[in-house]
Amino acid sequence: MSGFVTFISAGPGDPELLTVKGAARLRDADVVLYDDLASGAILDLARPGANLVAVGKRAGRPSTKQHHVNRLLVDYAAAGVRVVRLKSGDAGIFGRLEEELEALREAGIGYEIIPGITSACVAAAQAGIPLTRRHTSRRVQFVTGADVTGELPQNLNWAALADPEATTVVYMGRRTFPALVAKLIEHGLAPSTPALFAESLGRPDERLVRTTIAELAEQLARGGAASTAAVILFGALAGDYPS
């Protein structure tokens, strides 16, 4: 079966943070299958007349099923058109990229992956801090705050996540962060560990909150459901301010 798909990682949503290569492929596409978080101004880069197809998946909302996204990718590529799959952040980090690649492999369809800026890097940059430091944070770890059911995963490496000398980034953890913090404290992480809460990165309503893991857990427990995307950083560097 012929056809080809380009996976473009859109970054946090700011078109200026899209790679030059990604922008060029987007301008050439006949069909763009895009996530909710990769919509807005970035889609303005698509050529006039391109078929823009929303296939977003958001927690707590009606979402496109993954098997339907896979089918669309295969069907459009098989028709011989130039297909772009526009995914938010970096597609390789908690972006369900593997399921879509597997569908293309099984159908004999070629693809390329154009990396992008993940929200961890954007959050740190917007806060004016590094993700690493030679003597106080020599390791960065990314973890998902939600399993396939939307609950906190139970098989996480708690000893690693409770390491005070690591910078830890939690994706999709707004709802489960209070439970995560309870486990971290149980495994020895101090409640006063600095935390950075970043939501709507790269958008006009962007918000950064510097606090502690215990205080943030309390705030999120009281906050209820929210529709904006957020990422949480914690560790020594999360409390730093630009000098």
Report CA 125 to chain centroid distance, whole Å. 15
Range of the domain at 190: 119-235
Which pLDDT value is given to residue 148? 84
- Let me know whether 78 and 133 are in one domain: no
The domain that holds 8 is classified in CATH as 3.40.1010.10
Contact 38, 10 (CB under 8 A): yes
| Domain CATH code at residue 145 | 3.30.950.10
* 241 falls within a domain: no
> Radius of gyration (Cα) for the chain, nearest Å?
19
Give the CA distances from residue 184 to residues 162, 189, 219, in Å, rounded to whole numbers and listed in that order.
5, 6, 17
**Contact between 120 and 147 (Cβ < 8 Å):** no
Residues 193, 110 within the same domain = no
Residues 6+ apart with CB under 8 A from 217: 177, 178, 180, 181, 182
Same domain, yes or no, for 15 and 96? Answer: yes
Distance (Å, rounded) from C-alpha 98 to C-alpha 151?
21
Q: According to the model, what pLDDT value does residue 12 have? A: 87
The answer to whether residue 242 is domain-embedded is: no
Q: Same domain for 95 and 138?
A: no
Instruction: Let me know whether 105 and 129 are in one domain.
Output: no
**What confidence score (pLDDT) does residue 203 get?**
82
188 lies in some domain: yes
Domain count, the chain: 2
Same domain, 197 and 225: yes
Query: Which residues are catalytically annotated?
Result: 35, 57
Per-residue pLDDT 10s for the chain (243 aa) are 568 999 999 998 889 999 999 999 999 999 999 998 777 889 999 999 999 999 976 555 556 789 999 999 999 999 999 999 999 999 999 988 999 999 999 999 999 999 999 999 999 999 999 999 988 888 999 999 999 888 999 899 999 999 999 999 999 999 999 999 999 999 999 999 999 999 999 888 899 999 999 999 999 999 866 768 899 999 989 887 765
Domain edge (last residue) among 114, 142, 168: 114
- Do 110 and 172 belong together in one domain? no
Same domain, residue pair 101 and 147: no
In a 3-state reduction of DSSP, which class is residue 117?
coil
Position 36 scores a pLDDT of 84
Clarify whether residues 181 and 204 are in a common domain.
yes
Choosing from 54, 86, 114, the residue where a domain stops is 114
Name the domain boundary from 88, 114, 140. 114
